[in-house]
Amino acid sequence: MLVSLNENDPTPIYLQIARQIKEQILVGELCAGDELPSVRDLGDALGISLHTARSAYQVLSDAGVVRIRLGKKARIAPTPGAAGPGEMIFREDAEKAMAGRIRDVVVDALILGLDEQAIHMLVDRELAGLAARRGEAASDRSGS
């Protein structure tokens, strides 16, 4: 796992960490069951407080991306397609979980003066960029 902090990014550090870990899961660099560094190791490696590292892991846990157990290292949670019986998140549940978050982002974008077309362009650009990274990672894993 490689995380880098951008001091010029106004995004709080704990959210930068969470975003990068999510992206690494998305492109297959991190997989279900992989251990993450301990809060202390992450803090030491990035020169951040334990509170900041813990906050990043808590965001990931709240999103269902990692599992945290007291006294154990955080692990990447199974993805819906890889989860066992009873653990699968159905599409409707995922849509419900995301609806409020997406609404918040859209409202923020509108408040900042972006119109509908600009919001669509931003979303499309992010989707395309992540799709490209996924394709590159898949190609790297297959040895092509």
In the listed set 84, 101, 124, which residue is the last one of a domain according to the structure? 84
Can you say how many angstroms the Cα of residue 29 is from the centroid of all Cα atoms in its chain? 12
pLDDT at 47: 95
Domain identity same for 58 and 124: no
117: domain range? 90-144
Looking at the structure, tell me whether residues 104 and 78 fall in a common domain. no
User: Quick one: 13 and 55 in the same domain?
Assistant: yes
- CA pair distance 133, 130, nearest whole angstrom: 5
On the question of pLDDT at 78 being above 90, the answer is: no
| Cβ 2 vs Cβ 45: under 8 Å | no
User: Quick check: 33 and 76 in contact, CB under 8 A?
Assistant: yes
Domain boundary among 39, 55, 84: 84
Q: Are residues 13 and 58 in the same domain?
A: yes
Residue 144 pLDDT level (bands cut at 50, 70, 90): low
- Structure-token pair, residue 59: 């965001």
Q: In whole angstroms, what is the distance from residue 58 CA to residue 65 CA?
A: 10
Domain co-membership, 78 together with 118? no
Which pLDDT score, from 0 to 100, does residue 87 have? 47
| Average pLDDT over the chain, rounded to an integer | 86
Query: Looking at the structure, do residues 6 and 74 belong to the same domain, yes or no?
Result: yes
Domain boundary among 84, 104, 129: 84
103 and 75 assigned to the same domain:
no
Element (H, E) at 67: strand 66-67
Q: Is the pTM of this model over 0.85?
A: no
Tally of domains in the chain: 2
In this predicted structure, which of 14-28, 104-118, 127-141 has the lowest mean pLDDT?
127-141
pLDDT computed for residue 83 by the predictor? 45
